[in-house]
Amino acid sequence: MLIYFVRHAEAYPAAPGQSDAERSLTEAGLATARKLGQTLHHLGCKPPAVHTSPYLRARQTAQAIAQALQVPIVEERLLAPGCRPAALEAFLQTHAPADRVLVVGHQPDLGELIRWLTGAAVRLPPGGLAVVETPAIREAAGTLIGLYDPAWLLGAPSLG
C-alpha cells in the first residue's frame, strides 16, 4: 500500500474572532495545492478518494488535489488536529484493500503518524508531501519513499 500524506498548503493566520478551523488558504497556498494536484496526477497517483481533515484549509488543499486526480473528497473528522497513530491505524485498516490512500491533514499530527509507520522523523511544511510504502498497517512496518517540499513542486517543470 502507498500512503500519500499531504499537509494543507499555506493558510492565513486566524483573524480576530475566527476559529482555527475557518482559516483559508492564501493565494500562494492555493497555487501550491493546484501544483501538488497536477504533480500527483502526472506521477500516476490515483487513489479512490482524497481523505481530508474537515478544517477549511485542508479541505481547500484536498479540493485542488481531487480536481486534478478526478476523484471525490471524503471528510474525516479523525484527520482534524489532534489525530493520533491509533486512530490512523484503525482508519487505514478500513482502507487496506486499496493500494493507494491519500490523506490531507495537519502538523504535528502527520509527522507523528509517519514516524509511527516508518520510524522516520518528518516535519512536513505547509503544502508538503510524504509518501510511505507499507505492507501492513502497524508500527515501523513502512518505508518513507518520498518527501517533497512545496518550493520544489512550484519550481518543478511541467511533467505532462
What structural domains does the chain harbor?
Answer: 2-155 (3.40.50.1240)
Predicted confidence (pLDDT) at residue 93 exceeds the cutoff of 90:
no
pLDDT at 158: 52
Confidence grade of residue 78 (pLDDT, cut at 50, 70, 90): very high
Name which residue leads in pLDDT, 151 or 72: 72
Predicted confidence (pLDDT) at residue 39 exceeds the cutoff of 50:
yes
Helices (H) and strands (E) in the chain, counts: 5, 6
Task: Tell the residue number behind the cell numbers 482555527, with chain if given.
Answer: 20
pLDDT at 160: 44
Predicted confidence (pLDDT) at residue 153 exceeds the cutoff of 90:
no
Is the CB of residue 78 less than 8 Å from the CB of residue 95?
Answer: no
Q: Rounded mean pLDDT of the chain?
A: 93
Average pLDDT over residues 82-86: 85
Predicted confidence (pLDDT) at residue 15 exceeds the cutoff of 50:
yes
Q: Which cell goes with 154?
A: 512550484
103-146 pLDDT, tens per residue? Answer: 999 999 999 999 999 999 999 999 999 999 999 889 999 999 99
